[in-house]
A = this chain, B = another copy of it.
């Protein structure tokens, strides 16, 4: 809510920041070898096999090539693979120098003659697989860093990796292939299924994690929920006696927070993805494959069905139910139940269609009334 004039507007000339930036080399994008391990080169047949795409030779009959990596359409070279997933970027496709392009069937004949075509009904997924072929995730290096502090009674699979300064309380169980980062704090009794990846500075307590759960740096799982009784002497804590259950394949973004339940569990269903800075209140339950975009918040005891999407900065009040496949728009404020499959937006939430109708109506009417004059001045809030 800016109130004064923009301070930058006072400047006659823009600030003269000097950039002495030495190390940025744009030609290393994507896949800067400082940060990523590269595999390859690969033949076209390798790319088709790994991605499940159908291979069509370049129209100009160019020989089979070897590919060294991936790149966006506008910068790819003959030795690189690119892809088109969005009709909006069609003009870039026509001008690309990429040696091969992944496309949906509808665009296959738009690919330039010099390029091989990898036709896929799921081009984004094919792209993901080819990218992972060239730039595989680094393998987990098993072993417990000598600085880690491991509590009594822990069971740690010998194929798991535990990073520097990690602290595991008593009786923690860590499955096969798990990768626990530096400075991670895991409370007593926590169980972590196979192939989980726990980022730096994550704190977990009172929680059970399935397999292939990923927690990005700074996520907080299992702390006390926001529960207290109001008394004449102030607020009195209500013991939070539930757990957090993160089912298989859940991913939780950086600095997100998931409180443990008070009297039942807080549950994130299998395959669900939470972005950064998301808040999940105590006793909340998300179904399978839900998507919660960054800075959204789900209040205590609210339940989401399967495949629900909650867009960025949306907020859901407590104790409501959101039906399967519902879609909650960005910044939406949801105060009551939402039907399965419904699209809502606005604060308070309403159907998409109604929201945009209201917006258009209000603009038209306010403009008209003001133009009609009538001496009424807009009184600012």
In the complex, chain A residues 296-338 whose Cβ is within 8 Å of any chain B Cβ: 297, 299, 306-307, 309, 311-313, 315, 317, 325, 327, 329-331, 333, 335-336
A215 to B: closest C-beta gap in Å: 10
A-B contact pairs, 29 of them (CB 8 A): A1-B335, A11-B232, A13-B232, A14-B288, A17-B288, A19-B247, A20-B193, A22-B193, A23-B191, A29-B263, A30-B242, A31-B241, A32-B243, A125-B236, A127-B229, A135-B239, A165-B183, A183-B201, A203-B218, A218-B218, A223-B254, A279-B312, A315-B330, A354-B363, A357-B366, A359-B378, A360-B378, A360-B381, A365-B365
- In the complex, are the beta carbons of B264 and A15 less than 8 A apart? no
Given the known A-B contacts A358-B362, A362-B362, A370-B357, are A277 and B279 also in contact in the complex, defined by CB atoms under 8 Å? yes
Most interface-central of A132, A210, A257 (chain B CB within 10 A): A257
A208 to B127, CA, bound (A): 26
Across the interface, A271 reaches (CB within 8 A) one of B235, B245, B281, namely B235
- In the complex, are the beta carbons of B347 and A360 less than 8 A apart? no
- In the complex, are the beta carbons of B15 and A271 less than 8 A apart? yes
The quantity of this chain's copies bound in the complex is 3
Given the known A-B contacts A171-B34, A231-B122, A366-B358, are A312 and B1 also in contact in the complex, defined by CB atoms under 8 Å? yes
In the complex, chain A residues 235-259 whose Cβ is within 8 Å of any chain B Cβ: 235-239, 241-243, 245, 247-249, 253-255, 257, 259
- In the complex, are the beta carbons of B234 and A271 less than 8 A apart? yes
Residues of B within 8 A of A112 (CB): none
- In the complex, are the beta carbons of A313 and B315 less than 8 A apart? yes
A141 to B: closest C-beta gap in Å: 12
Across the interface, A17 reaches (CB within 8 A) one of B203, B249, B255, namely B249
Number of interface residues of A (CB under 8 A): 161
- In the complex, are the beta carbons of B29 and A243 less than 8 A apart? yes
Given the known A-B contacts A208-B24, A294-B226, are A288 and B15 also in contact in the complex, defined by CB atoms under 8 Å? yes
Residues of B within 8 A of A285 (CB): none
A122-162, CB under 8 A of B: which get 1 and which 0?
A: 10110111011001010000000101010000000000000
- In the complex, are the beta carbons of A226 and B253 less than 8 A apart? yes
Residues of B within 8 A of A381 (CB): 335-336, 348-350, 356, 359-360
Residues of B within 8 A of A96 (CB): none
In the complex, chain A residues 64-84 whose Cβ is within 8 Å of any chain B Cβ: 70-72
Residues of B within 8 A of A379 (CB): 360, 363-364
- In the complex, are the beta carbons of A238 and B127 less than 8 A apart? yes
Given the known A-B contacts A30-B264, A359-B381, are A306 and B14 also in contact in the complex, defined by CB atoms under 8 Å? yes
Across the interface, A348 reaches (CB within 8 A) one of B9, B16, B359, namely B359
Given the known A-B contacts A1-B317, A362-B358, are A325 and B232 also in contact in the complex, defined by CB atoms under 8 Å? no
- In the complex, are the beta carbons of A330 and B359 less than 8 A apart? no
A362 to B: closest C-beta gap in Å: 5
A246 to B13, CA, bound (A): 23
Judged by a CB distance under 8 angstroms, whether A179 is at the interface is no
Residues of B within 8 A of A13 (CB): 232
A129 to B: closest C-beta gap in Å: 8
In the complex, chain A residues 267-290 whose Cβ is within 8 Å of any chain B Cβ: 270-271, 273, 275-277, 279, 281, 288-289
A277 to B262, CA, bound (A): 19
A358 to B360, CA, bound (A): 11
A102 to B109, CA, bound (A): 70
Judged by a CB distance under 8 angstroms, whether A99 is at the interface is no
- In the complex, are the beta carbons of B17 and A234 less than 8 A apart? yes
Residues of B within 8 A of A129 (CB): 236
